[in-house]
């Protein structure tokens, strides 16, 4: 006989209706006896055999990697089945065996190449059961088996339909040591070698002795029958419980139906009574209607008479207008004769000389008189009001100056004086009238800064002669006070001198910051010369960095709760349907006394009261730690303490604190940080709104040793690609406790990025749509010496740990990608591979004349692009220049190049839709003709994302010719509809929390360079060629793609220049301005929800600018 161990007599954790249930005890015995290092199963179905092996591996603590390979679609022998089989097994497997086991959804032949030769110790073949299939599987996988591997064949005792396992078993068992069980449809055990553990040798030897064979078969048949009976009993109990619930449901349903019928009977009686009353009222109303009809008839008769008289008057007026038109034509002819006469030319010269002093006055400064237009009511009396009350949501002031002079192009300085400082004029806009009326195209966003003594000034450019100016204060202002206004033209030298002085003044109180700025300026001068330095200054001014609202001012306006606010919050909390217990988890080690007390007190000060504070001291050496913690634990029963006996660092300490947790939700708090008083209240309210949430995170800022708040991080809603680039969730993060426990808590060895590692592992098991973001600052991150809040570079070990955590995440998710360091940041890059063979990309480039521009674009693509599989489709829209037409003839002869002609009026959407219909590629690239390639692998990078099945549009990083940012992605809602992120920032700027340096999801990207799979483009109906012929069609496309369930991605690793619509010309004709306004109105109607709240932007940031400044 063979030796039995306790493992053999275990009852399996997973049972299901299957003949394999009867072989589970043998699988337990074999794993214990063989002790394999790698186990592979071909054909898993519900997982009974596979999970039995995994259960034994885990129980015995074996170092064995396991792989279940199956398509989970079924076959003609096992039967075909739906997705629910795999889903149930995957959920069970992920919870129990994911640490050493993998479910590989693949055919056997596809999977075999992923295993090294001679690497598998135990192979179970249980796929298609025909002779040919079993033989093929054995021979295909034979090279992957070690010399002393064991192979299991199921169904060796089935001789029906076209089952042929028994035939192949008879062949191989004739030449190799073996043992066969006859129960449970038969199970063959085949040995490939001669060197095995003693227990396995005993089994193989027993097959040569009839009595021993029979004894072993009988023993395992009895054991298997017991397991099968247990499975039947469990299934019967489940069915009985299901039946009981169904009967109870039917009884309840009948009870409800009876109640509903009674209510319906009462309702019918009430309706009958109401009908009687209504009939009486109807008769009265009919009488009233008859009287009204008589009055209307009389009124119509009178109106007809009035209209006839008016028609006669209009006809007479039309004749008078025609007479005036003839007179005007004659007068114009006479004026033209005068204008070309010599006397007129002399008079014109004298007029210009006479106006010279007035024009010079603009260099010296002219007083400006504000005059209210709309939504303003004067508070002061007299001709020149200085104070107005805002009466509507669009206040407007016209700025008047003496004389009738126009303002020449150039830079102008506007100075305003009132009782408030520059923040009173935040988010102010200036509209100019250069002959076409006030319009959004020529709007200027003003950036005021304080000049002392109640003076606020700004400098702005004018690009054309201007006849009128309109000043629109922020609609947040309730009172406007301007008792002095002056406009002065400034020269270029003064303009740049003021920008430099203003930048220096910002750092005058911080010599170190001034030194850093000076060093940066020197680097810019060395790398980019004077032009690069000037571009940096202009971009800073355009972003408002030299005069936007301070964070202190923002806090005063938006984050300083009043007593009424707190009372309202308490009222909302009292109305909650549920009040979940939130466990605040805090590991502690040698924290300074004051900071530790402040952290604990911030929890005790929470407005939401249903919390517990779980503290694990990591064997601190400072004596005050134990005294403080014990004191708080005595005074506050909601505070729980555990003192670790040895220092294990933050991951082990966090796990110790987790053992104290009894709440459903866990919020993490560092031992020296601070929670806002309303932090847990906001979490509870969010859970009330979204009870199916799995993870919640908030915005955060930093706090220094003096308690000053700074550097707020206003985050987007969940962005998978941004999350894989940096742990932007950070603080405050709140998890379901069961999720933390399910993944095993914090892992030692990832210190510094232990929370990132935890977040990644939890993300793998939850629905990303259940990750909620609270766009409020709920957490203050302490900036102390040695903290990453003070300097992210202080913990390089944290970066390395985060990189490793992301690498393991990619490995667990089986992503075809590798993890790299993101250049110039402390972030990460995910680089996906491109399929082989490369998919064909059709690059669509609309154009009209401007052949030099097109030639530069095409040459840069063909000379620099390293991606090989692409075609270029040039779409000509009415070119007439001979040089252009000749160039088209050249292109038609070139490889992978086509020229299509679109002979209709310009319609960007229609042109591209036309080209896509003729495209051969599975991926479409929408490219402007003013694009120039910078990074050779731009197309490889974009294709690697475009081929991902859940990705829609992919956008690139675009620069102006002066190396400032033209496109860092699109933020929907900025400027009224959409604006380019970080526009005018210097090329090497990291952007808002490195957003210019990392991959991220965005609602939209520009079609100046956009990739999308052709089937996705067609699925959403392509570009809108009816409502959006020129502008915003790319934004509309991206939003349709996002609405269809795809994610849009912007990558900074595809870099190109964009000269911005040079060949189309200016949008200055009245009909073009009108069309632009109509397209704005369409977008605001169609996408109001996203314009109001772009999920990848923050409601705390401005919509008036594209620089991520405070709103």
Can you give the pLDDT at residue 230? 79
Angle between helices 198-206 and 210-339 (to 10 degrees): 120
Can you give the pLDDT at residue 401? 79
Q: Per residue in 709-750, pLDDT tens?
A: 888 999 999 999 999 999 999 999 999 999 999 999 999 999
Q: What are phi and psi of 898, to 5 degrees?
A: -135, 150
Higher-confidence position of 240 and 868 = 868
The C-alpha atoms of residue 852 and residue 849 are separated, in whole angstroms, by 9
Higher-confidence position of 523 and 1065 = 523
Can you give the pLDDT at residue 656? 96
Can you give the pLDDT at residue 358? 41
pLDDT at 882 over 60: yes
Q: Is the same domain home to 716 and 848? A: no
Q: How confident is the model at residue 280 (pLDDT cuts 50, 70, 90)?
A: low
Pairing, β 1009-1013 against β 120-125: unpaired
pLDDT at 1062 over 50: no
Can you give the pLDDT at residue 351? 45
Q: What are phi and psi of 763, to 5 degrees?
A: -55, -35
The segment with the largest mean pLDDT, out of 155-169, 776-790, 1083-1097, is 1083-1097
Q: Are 620 and 590 in contact (CB under 8 A)?
A: yes
Nearest 5 degrees, angle CA 457-CA 459-CA 463? Answer: 150
The C-alpha atoms of residue 418 and residue 597 are separated, in whole angstroms, by 45
The C-alpha atoms of residue 1086 and residue 1033 are separated, in whole angstroms, by 12
Q: Is the same domain home to 790 and 851? A: no
Q: What SS3 state is found at 749? A: coil
The segment with the largest mean pLDDT, out of 226-240, 309-323, 987-1001, 1068-1082, is 987-1001
User: Which residue do the tokens 């987007």 mark?
Assistant: 716
Can you give the pLDDT at residue 507? 55
Q: Is residue 250 part of a domain?
A: no
Q: Per residue in 115-166, pLDDT tens?
A: 999 999 999 999 888 999 999 999 999 999 999 999 999 999 998 877 889 9
Q: What are phi and psi of 12, to 5 degrees?
A: -65, 145
Q: Residue 374 sits in a domain of what CATH number?
A: 2.60.120
Q: Is the same domain home to 868 and 777? A: no
Give the chain's end-to-end CA distance (angstroms, integer). 81
Q: Are 1005 and 957 in contact (CB under 8 A)?
A: no
Q: Per residue in 921-950, pLDDT tens?
A: 999 999 999 999 999 999 999 999 999 999
Q: Are 976 and 440 in contact (CB under 8 A)?
A: yes
pLDDT at 465 over 60: yes
CA nearest 176: which of 199, 157, 192, 156? 192
Q: Is residue 459 part of a domain?
A: yes
By CB atoms closer than 10 A (0-12, 13-18, 19+), residue 1056 is buried
Can you give the pLDDT at residue 461? 83
Q: Is the same domain home to 759 and 842? A: no
As a whole number, mean pLDDT of residues 85-93 equals 92
User: Which residue do the tokens 């870099």 mark?
Assistant: 1055
Q: How confident is the model at residue 659 (pLDDT cuts 50, 70, 90)?
A: very high
Q: Is the same domain home to 774 and 899? A: no
Pairing, β 582-588 against β 841-847: unpaired
Average pLDDT over the chain, rounded to an integer: 84
Side-chain half-sphere exposure of 724, counting CA atoms within 13 A: 24
The C-alpha atoms of residue 610 and residue 31 are separated, in whole angstroms, by 49
pLDDT at 179 over 60: yes
Tokens of 633: 């634990």
Q: How confident is the model at residue 373 (pLDDT cuts 50, 70, 90)?
A: confident
CA nearest 695: which of 770, 602, 795? 770
pLDDT at 563 over 70: yes
Domain boundary among 457, 490, 523: 490
Q: Is residue 586 part of a domain?
A: yes
b/e code 236-257 from CB counts within 10 Å (16+ = b): eeeeeeeeeeeeeeeeeeeeee
As a whole number, mean pLDDT of residues 785-789 equals 53
The three-state (H, E, C) secondary structure of 415-467, written as one string = EEECCCCHHHHCCCEEEEECCCCCCHHHEEECCCEEEECCEEEEEEEECCCEC
Q: How confident is the model at residue 346 (pLDDT cuts 50, 70, 90)?
A: very low
Residue 509 vs residues 469, 504, 505, 513: alpha-carbon distances, Å: 37, 10, 8, 9
Q: Per residue in 682-701, pLDDT tens?
A: 999 999 999 999 999 999 99
Q: Is the same domain home to 569 and 704? A: yes
As a whole number, mean pLDDT of residues 455-476 equals 80
Q: Is the same domain home to 480 and 567? A: no
Can you give the pLDDT at residue 356? 44
pLDDT at 313 over 60: no
Domain boundary among 180, 208, 236: 208
As a whole number, mean pLDDT of residues 384-404 equals 75
Range of the domain at 392: 360-490
Q: Are 687 and 580 in contact (CB under 8 A)?
A: yes
The C-alpha atoms of residue 72 and residue 143 are separated, in whole angstroms, by 25
Q: Is residue 257 part of a domain?
A: no
Q: Is the same domain home to 485 and 590? A: no
Tokens of 321: 């207008």
Higher-confidence position of 207 and 262 = 207
Q: Is the same domain home to 787 and 871? A: no
pLDDT at 1050 over 90: yes
Tokens of 416: 């305003």
Q: Are 655 and 740 in contact (CB under 8 A)?
A: no
Q: Is residue 90 part of a domain?
A: yes
Q: Is residue 351 part of a domain?
A: no
The C-alpha atoms of residue 242 and residue 238 are separated, in whole angstroms, by 6
Q: Are 832 and 813 in contact (CB under 8 A)?
A: no
Higher-confidence position of 474 and 1015 = 1015
Tokens of 715: 């985050």
In DSSP terms, 971 is beta-bridged to: 979
By CB atoms closer than 10 A (0-12, 13-18, 19+), residue 550 is middle
Tokens of 619: 């064997």
Can you give the pLDDT at residue 733? 97
Q: Is the preceding omega at residue 246 within 30 degrees of 0, hence cis?
A: no
The three-state (H, E, C) secondary structure of 64-117, written as one string = CEEEEEECCCEECCCEECCHHHHHHHHHHHHHHCCCCEEEEECCHHHHHCCCCC
Q: Is residue 535 part of a domain?
A: no
Number of structural domains found in the chain: 4
The C-alpha atoms of residue 874 and residue 888 are separated, in whole angstroms, by 9
pLDDT at 649 over 80: yes
Q: What SS3 state is found at 175? A: coil
Can you give the pLDDT at residue 232? 75
Tokens of 525: 């001068």
b/e code 923-961 from CB counts within 10 Å (16+ = b): bbbbbbbbbbbbbebbbbbbbbbbbbeebbbbbbbbbbe
Tokens of 132: 């040919």
Q: Is residue 888 part of a domain?
A: yes
Can you give the pLDDT at residue 1070? 64
Q: Are 668 and 732 in contact (CB under 8 A)?
A: yes
Q: How confident is the model at residue 341 (pLDDT cuts 50, 70, 90)?
A: very low
Q: Is the same domain home to 873 and 982? A: yes
Q: How confident is the model at residue 327 (pLDDT cuts 50, 70, 90)?
A: low
Q: Residue 1074 sits in a domain of what CATH number?
A: 3.90.550.10
Side-chain half-sphere exposure of 927, counting CA atoms within 13 A: 30
Domain boundary among 490, 520, 554: 490
Can you give the pLDDT at residue 1061? 46
Q: Is the same domain home to 742 and 851? A: no
Q: How confident is the model at residue 796 (pLDDT cuts 50, 70, 90)?
A: confident
Pairing, β 611-617 against β 582-588: parallel
Q: Are 755 and 676 in contact (CB under 8 A)?
A: no
Q: CB neighbours (10 Å) of residue 967?
A: 23
Can you give the pLDDT at residue 264? 75
Can you give the pLDDT at residue 159? 86
Q: For residue 337, what are the contacts with CB-CB under 8 A and spacing of at least 6?
A: none
Nearest 5 degrees, angle CA 614-CA 615-CA 621? Answer: 170
Residue 740 vs residues 587, 664, 679, 837: alpha-carbon distances, Å: 16, 11, 21, 41
Higher-confidence position of 1049 and 302 = 1049
The C-alpha atoms of residue 445 and residue 548 are separated, in whole angstroms, by 11
b/e code 458-475 from CB counts within 10 Å (16+ = b): bbbebeeebebbbbbbbe
Q: Residue 74 sits in a domain of what CATH number?
A: 3.40.50.150
Q: Is the same domain home to 66 and 169? A: yes
Q: Per residue in 35-77, pLDDT tens?
A: 999 999 999 999 999 999 999 999 999 999 999 999 998 877 6
């Amino acid at each position: 006989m063979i030796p039995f161990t306790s493992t053999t007599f275990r009852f399996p954790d997973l049972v299901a209706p299957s003949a394999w249930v009867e072989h589970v005890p043998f699988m337990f015995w074999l794993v214990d006896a063989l002790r394999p290092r790698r186990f592979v199963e071909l054909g898993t179905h519900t997982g009974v055999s596979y999970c039995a092996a995994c259960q034994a591996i885990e129980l015995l603590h074996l170092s064995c990697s396991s792989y279940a390979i199956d398509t989970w679609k079924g076959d003609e022998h096992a039967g075909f089945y739906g997705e629910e089989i795999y889903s149930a097994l995957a959920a069970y497997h992920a919870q129990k065996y994911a640490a050493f086991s993998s479910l590989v959804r693949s055919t056997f032949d596809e999977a075999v190449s992923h295993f090294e030769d001679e690497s598998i110790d135990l192979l179970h073949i249980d796929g298609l059961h025909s002779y040919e299939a079993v033989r093929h599987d054995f021979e295909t996988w034979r090279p992957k088996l070690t010399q002393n591997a064991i192979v299991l064949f199921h169904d060796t005792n089935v001789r029906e339909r076209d089952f042929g396992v028994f035939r192949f078993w008879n062949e191989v068992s004739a030449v190799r040591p073996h043992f066969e069980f006859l129960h449970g449809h038969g199970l063959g055990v085949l040995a490939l070698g001669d060197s095995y553990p003693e227990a396995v040798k005993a089994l193989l030897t027993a097959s040569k002795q009839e009595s021993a064979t029979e004894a072993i078969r009988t023993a395992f048949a009895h054991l298997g029958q017991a397991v099968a009976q247990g499975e039947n009993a469990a299934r019967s109990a489940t069915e009985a419980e299901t039946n009981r619930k169904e009967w109870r449901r039917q009884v309840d349903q009948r009870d409800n139906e009876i109640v509903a019928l009674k209510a319906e009977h009462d309702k019918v009686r009430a309706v009958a009574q109401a009908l009687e009353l209504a009939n009486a009222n109807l008769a009265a109303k009919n009488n009233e209607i008859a009287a009204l009809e008589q009055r209307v008839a009389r009124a119509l008769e009178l109106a007809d008479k009035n209209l006839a008289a008016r028609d006669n008057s209009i006809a007479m007026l039309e004749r008078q207008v025609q007479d005036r038109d003839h007179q005007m034509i004659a007068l114009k002819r006479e004026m033209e004769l005068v204008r070309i006469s010599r006397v007129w030319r002399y008079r014109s010269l004298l007029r210009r000389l006479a106006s010279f002093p007035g024009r010079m006055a603009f260099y010296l400064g002219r007083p400006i008189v504000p005059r209210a237009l709309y939504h303003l009511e004067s508070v002061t009396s007299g001709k020149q009001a200085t104070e107005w009350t805002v009466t509507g949501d669009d206040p407007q002031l016209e700025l008047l100056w003496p004389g009738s002079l126009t303002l020449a192009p150039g830079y102008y300085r506007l100075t305003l004086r009132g009782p408030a400082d520059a923040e009173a004029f935040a988010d102010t806009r200036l509209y100019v009238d250069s002959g076409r009326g006030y319009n959004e195209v020529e709007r200027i966003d003003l950036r005021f800064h304080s000049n002392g003594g109640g003076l606020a000034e700004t400098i702005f450019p004018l690009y054309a002669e201007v006849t009128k100016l309109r000043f629109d204060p922020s609609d947040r202002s309730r009172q406007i006070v301007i008792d002095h206004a002056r406009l002065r033209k400034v020269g270029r030298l003064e303009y740049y001198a003021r920008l430099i002085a203003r930048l220096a003044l910002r750092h005058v109180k911080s010599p170190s910051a001034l030194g850093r700025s000076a060093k940066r300026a020197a680097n810019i001068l060395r790398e980019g010369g004077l032009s690069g330095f000037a571009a940096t200054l202009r971009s800073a001014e355009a972003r408002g960095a030299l005069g936007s609202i301070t964070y202190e001012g923002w806090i005063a306006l938006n984050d300083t709760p009043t007593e009424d606010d707190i009372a309202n919050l308490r009222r909302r909390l009292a109305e909650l349907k549920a009040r979940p217990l939130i466990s605040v988890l805090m590991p502690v080690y040698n924290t300074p006394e004051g900071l530790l007390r402040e952290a604990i007190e911030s929890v005790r000060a929470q407005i939401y009261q249903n919390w517990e504070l779980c503290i694990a001291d990591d064997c601190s050496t400072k004596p005050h730690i134990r005294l403080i913690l014990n004191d708080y634990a005595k005074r506050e029963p909601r505070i729980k303490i555990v003192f670790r006996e040895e220092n294990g660092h933050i991951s082990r300490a966090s796990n110790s604190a987790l053992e104290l947790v009894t709440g459903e939700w866990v919020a993490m708090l560092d031992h020296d940080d601070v929670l806002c008083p309303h932090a847990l209240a906001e979490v509870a309210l969010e859970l009330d709104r979204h009870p199916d949430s799995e993870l919640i995170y908030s915005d955060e800022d930093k706090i220094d040793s003096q308690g000053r708040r700074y550097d707020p991080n206003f985050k987007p809603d969940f962005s998978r690609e941004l999350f894989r680039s940096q742990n932007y969730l950070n603080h405050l993060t709140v998890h379901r406790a069961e999720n933390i426990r399910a993944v095993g808590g914090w892992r030692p060895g990832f210190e510094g990025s232990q929370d990132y590692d935890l977040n990644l592992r939890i993300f793998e098991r939850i629905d990303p749509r259940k990750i909620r973001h609270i766009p409020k600052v709920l957490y203050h991150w302490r900036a102390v010496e040695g903290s990453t809040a003070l300097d992210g570079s202080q913990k390089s070990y944290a970066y390395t740990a985060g990189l490793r955590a992301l690498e393991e995440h990619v490995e667990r998710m089986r992503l075809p990608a590798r993890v790299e360091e993101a250049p110039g940041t402390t972030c990460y890059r995910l680089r996906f591979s491109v399929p082989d063979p490369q998919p064909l990309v059709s690059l669509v480039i609309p154009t009209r004349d401007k052949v030099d521009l097109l030639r530069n674009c095409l040459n840069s693509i063909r000379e620099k692009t390293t991606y090989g599989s692409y075609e270029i489709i040039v779409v000509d829209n009415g070119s007439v220049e001979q040089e252009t037409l000749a160039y088209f003839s050249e292109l038609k002869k070139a490889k992978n190049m086509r020229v299509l002609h679109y002979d209709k009026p310009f319609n960007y959407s229609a042109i591209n839709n036309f080209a896509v219909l003729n495209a051969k590629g599975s991926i479409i690239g929408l490219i402007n003709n003013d694009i120039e390639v910078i990074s050779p692998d731009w197309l490889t990078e974009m294709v690697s994302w475009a081929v991902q099945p859940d990705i829609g549009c992919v956008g690139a990083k675009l620069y102006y010719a002066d190396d400032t940012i033209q496109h860092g992605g699109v933020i929907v809602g900025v400027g009224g509809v959409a604006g380019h992120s970080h526009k005018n920032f210097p090329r090497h700027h990291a952007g808002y929390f490195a957003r210019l340096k990392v991959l991220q999801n965005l609602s939209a990207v520009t079609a100046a360079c956009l990739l999308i799979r052709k089937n996705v483009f067609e699925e959403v109906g392509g570009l809108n060629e009816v409502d959006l012929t020129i502008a915003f069609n790319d934004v509309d496309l991206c939003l349709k793609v996002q609405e269809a369930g795809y994610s849009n991605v912007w990558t900074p690793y595809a870099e190109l220049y964009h000269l911005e619509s040079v060949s189309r010309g200016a949008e200055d004709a009245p009909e073009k301005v009108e069309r632009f306004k109509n397209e704005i109105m369409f977008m605001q109607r169609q996408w109001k929800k996203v314009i109001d709240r772009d999920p990848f932007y923050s409601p705390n940031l401005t919509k008036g600018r594209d620089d991520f400044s405070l709103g």
